[in-house]
Amino acid sequence: MGTRGDSDEAYVVGLCNRVLGERALTQHTFDWLRGDPGVGGRRARLPVDAYWPGHQLVVEYRELQHDRPTPHFDKPDRLTVSGVHRGEQRALYDARRETEIPAHGLRLVVIRPADLDADGRGRLRRRDQESDLGALEKILARPSDEDRVTDAFRTWLLAEGWTPVDPTDRWTDLEAVRGDERLICEAKGRTSEKGVDADIAYGQLLRRMTSQEPRIRYALVVPSSSVEAVERVPAQVRRLLRVDVYEVTDDNAVRRRPLYV
């Protein structure tokens, strides 16, 4: 029998690590995600398969027993603390994860064998990494271009040694620290109103400049199509305001734009 380290779940999480540029916390638990009361009223924490704090993302890899009756896993002749057999309890707890995780501000992505290169029994025996990586990149991608830009920049920050933190202003798209440095970021996606959106983005950053601490810098993160619009603000003004412009290309590469003086 295989171990968790060589399981399909571990394989999928490892590929997600590569896509996200961050190593997951596996079998992670949260204080607010718990099972039903057991003996003495204690409610055990429910683990999630993988959690990426920097991306505020949870992934659940759900094998076939999560979606169809499987006597070996369900143990229909045994009741759990929930008063139902394990198969029904699994469905209850899956539904609880789907409710509680987004309610606590985290993104939940559910991946199933059919999403990848699985055989008829739902096993990832072939482990075609190129094919599975391509599928996971699409699954983990978010629908709006602003989300794409934000996620690509977050991945770049992690690779550069930054740690995303809870923003001091709840309207801030992304905030990160590295040593005694702090970066406050405003991200924009593709738009038909590039100039207007650039002006709005600068205004949003200006409202957040409540500290004169020189170790705080501000970032305007935009797709390649908007670079010309955001660089209409003269470089010397951006320098005085400690605003850096970052470009996210169509293939999600991040480039810090040069600041000429």
CB neighbours (10 Å) of residue 167? 15
- pLDDT of 8 higher than 70: yes
| Stretch(es) of the chain classified as CATH 3.40.960 | 4-140
- Residue 162 CA to residue 165 CA, distance in Å, equals 9
CATH 3.30.360 fits 4-140, yes or no: no
How do the residues of the chain divide into helix, strand and coil, expressed in percent and rounded to 5? Answer: 40, 20, 40
* pLDDT (tens digit per residue) in 134-181: 999 999 988 899 999 999 999 999 999 999 998 888 889 999 999 999
pLDDT band of residue 82 (cuts 50, 70, 90) is low
Token pair, residue 146, equals 């602003």
| Stretch(es) of the chain classified as CATH 3.40.1350.10 | 145-256
- Name 111's bridge partners: 61
pTM of the model: 0.71
Q: Are 109 and 140 contacting, i.e. CB atoms less than 8 angstroms apart? A: yes
* pLDDT (tens digit per residue) in 182-213: 999 999 999 889 999 999 999 999 999 988 89
CATH 3.40.1350.10 fits 145-256, yes or no: yes
* pLDDT (tens digit per residue) in 238-247: 999 999 999 9
Return the amino acid letter for 135.
A
